[in-house]
Amino acid sequence: MTGFFGRYTTTIDEKGRCILPAKLRAVTDDSGNPMLEGGIFLTKGLEGCLSVYPQSEWVAIQQRLSTLDFTDKPYRSFSRRFYSLASPVTPDKNGRILIPSHLIEEAGLEKELAVIGVNRSIEIWNPPLLKYYLEQYAGSYE
């Protein structure tokens, strides 16, 4: 897998649909299959974005989380929120996905979206929030 990378701008329509950038849809796994072809999972990400996971990465996350101690209250709280907000999505033939209204609200999404590749996942941001986040943490890149 080459991984997801880059920063793109797209829009969301009144029905909650957005087109994932073609360069991100073209990313393949080690066997040459498109990473997003088997379906994807959307959920609330960290720092206010939405996280988009290919099926294979979603399974890996589930496996990692299942090894944690379910008696740990912070783990249970995180799991409840993470999984309850998750939604399986299948891109249509044009690369559009339907973002559920609860996730649009959670991420404060409006018409314009910033979409970034983050190695094994994709993030969808409200552009001013992404700009703010990147400015706040610019020093950590040095």
Residue 130: per-residue pLDDT: 97
**Does the domain made of 7-141 have the CATH classification 3.40.1550.20?**
yes
Contacts of 56 (CB under 8 A, 6+ apart): 29, 35, 38
Residue 17: per-residue pLDDT: 97
In 16-139, DSSP assigns E strands to 17-19, 40-44, 50-54, 87-89, 96-98, 112-118, 121-125
Which helix (H) or strand (E) element contains residue 92? none
Residue 31: per-residue pLDDT: 86
Q: Where are the domains of the chain?
A: 7-141
Residue 1: per-residue pLDDT: 57
Residue 89: per-residue pLDDT: 95
Residue 103: per-residue pLDDT: 97
Residues of the chain with pLDDT under 70: 1, 141-142
Q: Two tokens at 113?
A: 């979206």
Global confidence as pTM = 0.91
